[in-house]
Amino acid sequence: MHFQSVTFDLDGTLLDTIADLAEGCRLMLEEIGAPPRTLAEVHSFVGKGMAVLVERCLTHGGQAPSDAQIQAAIESFKKHYAAVNGRLTRIYPGVSEGLEVWKASGLKLGIVTNKPAMFTEALLEHVGMRHYFEVVVSGDTTAHKKPHPEPILHACRQMGIEPRFNLHIGDSKNDIEAARAAGCPAYAVPYGYNEGEPVDSADCDALVSDLLAAYRQALTFKDLHHK
């Protein structure tokens, strides 16, 4: 196989966390006295990290909240989400089987997510996935979040792998853009959280139905564009 490592997005790629995120947002908005948001709205707000999620929840009719309002809401969200993190989360079909196959292949595996570390590590432990990954890069591990390439580059450095030999798998253009900028091939799954912009096969090296399909696709990968 061409690849020596694989980095995975977390929310929307491995785990369906939207019910927990929506509950954290509901409790936050209730506490600060802001209008509620629907599950569909929260779904569309996920993708660029906690602070952006909170800001989007507070933005109505183009009227952005103040910095003070955002900071107060972030502290409220942290408290409430920490209490529900993992409670309603489910593992997407094919993920457990896919991770077993990837791990058995001998490749190094990592997580690259925009979720803050305080939630990432707890969630991985809660669902019993932490042992699969050599490195976990969260939204506050580096100075930048996806779609900036630095989180993926950091993961590659930690694993001792050249970016062109790392495959990144995610669910949104944030993942594809980050991988492209890092010099990594990118696969995308069609489910998950994409901020209302579904990924297309033209955007990535392969659009795969699940992690098992990603593994089969990787076996035939030809490094034509990432030399």
- Active-site annotation holds for 205: no
9 and 54 share a domain? Answer: no
Average pLDDT along the chain: 94
C-alpha–C-alpha distance, residues 59 and 69, integer Å: 11
| Domains: count for the chain | 2
pTM: 0.92
State the average pLDDT over residues 38-48: 93
Q: Where are the alpha helices (DSSP H) in the chain?
A: 18-32, 39-45, 50-58, 67-84, 95-104, 117-126, 150-159, 173-182, 211-218
Q: Alpha-carbon dihedral of residues 148, 138, 216, 212, nearest 10 degrees?
A: -140
114 and 195 share a domain? Answer: yes
Q: Is residue 223 part of a domain?
A: no
64 and 95 share a domain? Answer: no
C-alpha–C-alpha distance, residues 78 and 193, integer Å: 20
Q: What is the pLDDT of residues 174-193, one digit of tens each?
A: 999 999 999 999 999 999 99
Q: What is the pLDDT of residues 2-40, one digit of tens each?
A: 999 999 999 999 999 999 999 999 999 999 999 999 999
Per-residue pLDDT at 227 exceeds 50 = no
State the average pLDDT over residues 65-91: 96
Residue 176: domain span: 5-16+90-218
132 and 147 share a domain? Answer: yes
Could you tell me the pLDDT band of residue 225, with boundaries at 50, 70 and 90?
Answer: low
How large a percentage of the chain has pLDDT more than 70? 98
Residue ending a domain, choose from 84, 101, 118: 84
What CATH number does residue 181 fall under? 3.40.50.1000
Least confident of 94-98, 165-169, 220-224: 220-224
Least confident of 13-17, 73-77, 88-92, 194-198: 194-198
Say which residue the tokens 């696969």 belong to: 187
Which one from 9, 11, 16, 171 is the annotated catalytic residue?
9
